[in-house]
Structure 1
Amino acid sequence: MSEDAGRRAFHRPVYRPAESLESVVGGIDPLEQVEAAHRTAEIVVGRGRDTDDPELTARLVGLVRELGLATVAEMWSDRPARTLPGALWRLYLLHEWVQRRPDEVRRLWTAGEGRAEVYRVIVGVAEPPDPMALAAMTGEVLTGVFSGDLAVALERAAAFCHVMAVGLVEPGVDDIPPEQVTRAARMRDTADDLTACARLWRLDALH
């Protein structure tokens, strides 16, 4: 998908309380749901970047905990990867994966970091890279969406996906399960998409 495909008219977000986001996506036709996905993404990011309230930032980072993964998926998971809602969905999903499967994530990170050192440095995981450090990193990425350089946050997440992809496919192992190879390919695709989103954000074209 080209970067131009992610372009759409930008409307300055108008804040709505978190509890109202659920109602935006319910009982509407497909065209309205597309518009709602972009509108809610703009609301969440715009509200987060317009405030210096750490409590609100923490609530936005914990949006999945507050609304539930199914609600967040309903809002954003169907949107193209190189759009604002598509990028947000992938960031929240990565954070949930790290929290829910800490041992798997640590194993893949350990397997991949030595063969993806440039990406490891970009990610910036604290040493030692235990589950708490990895979860803290994805939390920092989401915090950066709202109170830092969003493009840098996307690039850190992309680098993390690259390390995970390398960890999924160990060299010299002949019997890697096909589903694991597929997961690695999807991780690389996600990394490419998040990198593209970072470029689009810098061009004021991620909507």
Structure 2
Amino acid sequence: MPDPRPHHRPVPKRGVFFDEQAGGPDPAVVAEAAERAAAVLVRGARTSEDAGIAERLVHLADTEGIEAIAEAWAHAPADSLGGSLWRLYLLRSWVFADPSGVARQFEAGRRHAEFARVVAGVADPPGPDELRTMVDAVLRGIAEGDFADVLLRAAAFARVVAAGRATLPEVPDADVRRVLVLAEQLEAAGHAELA
């Protein structure tokens, strides 16, 4: 049976039509805005006279959500300010999500990464509360100290945890490598900040 509707040719679409239908803002513009926001957070925090800024920086992921931070900085290069901040907040979220497990891994790695243990600055013995306190102190350093020190201290902490994970038979090699890569990225960012 023939179709009762008359057939017509589709109207050709011009380039402007596709531009208007794009799936969101230009990724390059978003990346630039994210990096500017990171610079304002890192560089502006140290020059601010606002006494509460350090606490707001520590709790940024709590108030804005780690997903919002990820959306802004997760795809930034590891040695950029945004990429560094993403890794710092990811580290904090991980410690707060599993403080007992991370404390166990840190304890297992202490004797295998002696220098990194000292640089990390975790209280002895390293229990869950001590790790939460240390990771918050590291983030406070964004506003109160030198950003390179913040990154190097976080890198040292991740390096000790990676060493500890490597000694635990239940931790897959991929999980050890993941934390080791995080440590290396934070350390490289710290050296880039020093330069």
TM range (shorter): 0.7 to 0.9
Larger radius of gyration: 2
Q: 1:122 is matched with which residue? A: 119
Equivalences for residues 100-115 of structure 1 within 5 A: 100-115=97-112
Residue 7 of structure 1 is matched in structure 2 by: none
User: Within 5 Å, which residues of 2 pair with 1:1-207?
Assistant: 27-170=24-167, 173=169, 176=170, 180-203=172-195
Summarize deviations over 1:10-55 as a string: whole Å, max 9, x none: xxxxxxxxxxxxxxxxx52211111112111112112211114231
Letter of the aligned partner of 2:84 in structure 1?
A: A
Return 5+ residue gaps in structure 2 as ranges. 1-23
Distance in 2 separating the partners of 1:202 and 1:115: 27
Give structure 1 stretches of 5+ with no counterpart. 1-26
Write the distance in 1 (CA, Å) between the matches of 2:80 and 2:110.
28
Q: Distance in 2 between matches of 1:142 and 1:131?
A: 17
Give the match for residue 15 of structure 2: none
Corresponding residue number in structure 2 for 1:8:
none
CA contact (8 A) 2:76 2:82 kept: yes
**Does the 8 A contact of 1:155 with 1:198 survive in 2?**
yes
User: Normalising by structure 1, what TM-score?
Assistant: 0.79
Q: Is the 8 A contact 1:158 1:194 kept in 2?
A: yes
Query: Aligned partners of 2:97, 2:49: CA distance in 1, in Å?
Result: 29
The amino acid that maps onto 2:115 is V
**Using the alignment, how far apart are the partners of 1:40 and 1:151 within structure 2?**
18
Cα-to-partner distance string for 1:176-199 (whole Å, 9 max, x where unaligned): 55xx21111121111111111111
User: C-alpha deviations, 1:46-92, integer Å up to 9, x for none?
Assistant: 22111142312101111001111110110100111111100100001
Contact 2:151 2:189 in 1 (8 A): yes
Distance 1:167 1:128 in 2: 15
Tell me, what secondary structure is at the counterpart of 2:71?
helix
Structure 1 contact 41–85 (Cα < 8 Å) conserved: yes
Q: Percent identity?
A: 40
Q: Classify the secondary structure of the residue corresponding to 1:144.
A: helix
**Hey, what's the Cα distance between the residues in 2 that align with 1:88 and 1:96?**
12
What is the one-letter code of the residue matched to 1:164?
V
Q: Which residue of 2 aligns with 1:12?
A: none
Aligned to 1:21: none
Q: Which consecutive segments of 4 or more residues in structure 1 shift more than 6 A?
A: none
Shift of 1:145: 1.5
Q: 1:85-136: per-residue Cα shift (whole Å, max 9, x none)?
A: 0010000111111111111111111111121111111111112211111111
SS of the equivalent of 1:169 reads: helix
- Are the counterparts in 1 of residues 159 and 183 from structure 2 also a CA contact under 8 Å? yes
